Amino acid sequence: MSEHDTTLLPELIRDLIKERRASRRLKLLKYSFWGTGLLLIAGAVLVEHLQLDEVDEAKQITAVIQVRGEIADGAEANAAALKKAIGRAFDDERAKAVVLKINSPGGSPVQAGQVFDEIKRQRGLHPKVPVYAVIEDLGASGAYYIAAAADEIVADKASLVGSIGVTAASFGFVDLMNRVGVERRAYTSGAHKAFLDPFQPKNPEETVFWNDVLKQTHQQFIQSVKTGRGDRLKDADHPELFSGLIWTGEQAKQLGLIDKLGDVDYVARDLVGATSQVDFTVKDNAFDRFAKRLGASAAQQLSMALGFSGVSLR
């Protein structure tokens, strides 16, 4: 064996040992990652289970579901999560009533409409379990859409209630592009495929079309409110109820938008008669939040970048 071979062999052995050690560390890291993930999932399930069973099984409860922030797909207050929470609350035999605890400016008419329909459906399946909507600071637009499905709506005298209207907003950059000498080149198939493009001039025909879409969405909103509120709504004397204006809780009571002044504790104590409140709100764990952020579509990001966020109940 040459001198070169005698020096090379130890080096090869050392490299092999390093590779094996690195491989073991990588495996340990991978197992630790998955182990931590499983522990987090198990912990989330356990906490959720304990939250729902924190009251004596034989005791009647007031089931509370929180509707907070924007009502939108991917947001905390999304239709899928709210519908799941509503179903679980109604299915709990301890629930004497279901309370929607609302603090939201509104959002998607689709998401709000789906929640409205689910409340009505569950109410039909459980006729002895009433639904109360309690508006805290804000119950506007899509949030009021959801509240209208309740048997009674309660708010503080200073709460902001209403805003029964529809909006869709974007920006126009045509003049700016002309000033800086930028030309827009869009290739489409379909005469009106790019009618929401903020880089092209407004088309009067398309403006009329889009206004008709908003009007129809508004009428759907109004009809749902009328269905939920019935004769309590003073819309005959106050047509401005559906103009998009917003009122204090005290004003809303006079207009028939709400029934009583109070809070969740008042509802549980005096209206339901079950002071034990259990939160049935479906909450995302860390993995859910990460997945939603990771799964945000390019179309959503592009829409936000261009300043167009779609039809919104606000």
Identify the active-site residue in 83, 101, 104, 141.
Answer: 141
170 is catalytic: no
Write the secondary structure of 167-213 as one string of H (helix), E (strand) and C (coil).
ECCCCCCHHHHHHHCCCCCCCCCCCCCCCCCCCCCCCHHHHHHHHHH
Identify the active-site residue in 193, 202, 215, 243.
Answer: 193
Assigned token pair, 294: 């990771």
Q: Is residue 96 within 8 Å of 132, Cβ to Cβ?
A: no
276 is catalytic: no
Q: Is residue 170 within 8 Å of 308, Cβ to Cβ?
A: yes
CA distance 280 to 51: 8
Torsion, Cα 52 155 112 124, to 10 degrees, reads 60
Handedness of CA 153, 158, 164, 170 (dihedral sign): negative
Give catalytic residues, as residue numbers: 141, 193
